[in-house]
Amino acid sequence: MIVTTKKLFEAAYGKYAIGAYNINNLEQTMGLFRGNMDSQAPFIIQISKGARSYTHKLMLEGLIRSADAVFPDAVFAVHLDHGDEETCIDCINSGFYSSVMIDASHEPFEKNIEITRKIVELAHAKGIVVEAELGQLGGVEEHVKVDEADAKLTNPEQAAEFVERTGCDSLAVAIGTSHGAFKFSGNQSIRLDVLEQIQKLLPGFPLVMHGSSSVPQDEVERINAAGGNLKGAKGVDADQFLHAAQLGVTKINIDTDGRLVWTRVHREYFRDHPENFDLRPIGKVFMDEYAKFIASKNQKLGSAGKLPEVKKML
């Protein structure tokens, strides 16, 4: 069942976070639904602009509608990830998405507010919720001075003003994470201190953490041992997810870790089965591994086992 994130966030706030997973194809879709059903978790499907154009935007829509029929007990939101104005409007008018992200975080503060408010008005008129972003995501390098790094993080006072003036339903905050497999060059981690300040000024308001893949070191080692070259890859400590959730993070975005599963499965499979040229055996291994990956992430997020109580709230 497709829902907006509103109810999911109400159920989770302060206790656990909902996993927001990016998909691009059939095998990911199948593994995603199976993993969430196996772990009895509500979830968010994220579709990026790149995913929409990988084949055709209607292909992913068709896959998700079919998965909804195959897994009638699943409860999930369909969310546009990192949308620009044009893509948000297309998704709002599609009648399919239940949530969009307008990402104008690269714009100056006032312009970000103007663009976000416009999308909020269009989306709310159709019952669709909006995630916005304030601050700049970026990996923390050890050589960068603390005040320079802090300048890119979300300013808590600005965050409160931004939410008030835009009417957005959730806010992606920059607290030291970045997208991809190379997040930190030293011992840095999520800036829970900044998150705490934001929560104090926005109590009860759902916050979103992007760039949350943990880039498991055993996964990286297996990829490298099977011919990959991902030296120095490093991610977020998944044991901090619940602490972040207590500080108001209700949605945690994970894409890179799923790509690492895909890479490990394919590299190892073709290394070990050089004679194989059939796409289905490897596809089946990937779907199984992807489902296991989703279920184990949901344990870390605290969303595993929460499906029955969320269903009661709907």
Question: Please, are residues 74 and 66 in contact by the beta-carbon 8 Å criterion?
Answer: no
Q: Which residue out of 38, 68, 73, 81 is catalytically annotated? A: 81
List the single partner that 213 binds among ligand 13P, ligand G3H, Zn ion, none, CB under 5 to 8 Å by kind.
ligand 13P
Question: 140 and 149 in contact (C-beta within 8 Å)?
Answer: yes
Residues 218-257 close enough to bind ligand 13P by CB under 6 A: 253-257
Q: How far is the CB of 47 from ligand G3H (least distance, A)?
A: 8
Give min distance, CB of 82 to Zn ion, in A. Answer: 6
Looking at the Cβ atoms of 199 and 213, the one nearer to ligand G3H is 213
Query: Which CB sits closer to ligand 13P, 115 or 181?
Result: 181
Of these partners, Zn ion, ligand 13P, ligand G3H, none, which one is at the site of residue 222 (CB under 5 to 8 Å by kind)?
none
**Nearer to ligand G3H among residue 131 and residue 255 (C-beta):** 255
Mark whether 255 is an active-site residue.
no
* Binding of residue 251 to Zn ion (CB under 5 A): no
Quick check: 183 binds Zn ion (CB under 5 A)? Answer: no
Binding mask 198-227 for Zn ion (x = CB under 5 A): ------------x-----------------
CB closer to ligand G3H, 112 vs 199: 112
Site residues for ligand G3H per CB under 6 A:
22, 48, 50-51, 81-82, 179, 255
Active site residues: 81
Site residues for ligand 13P per CB under 6 A:
22, 81-82, 179-180, 210-213, 253-257
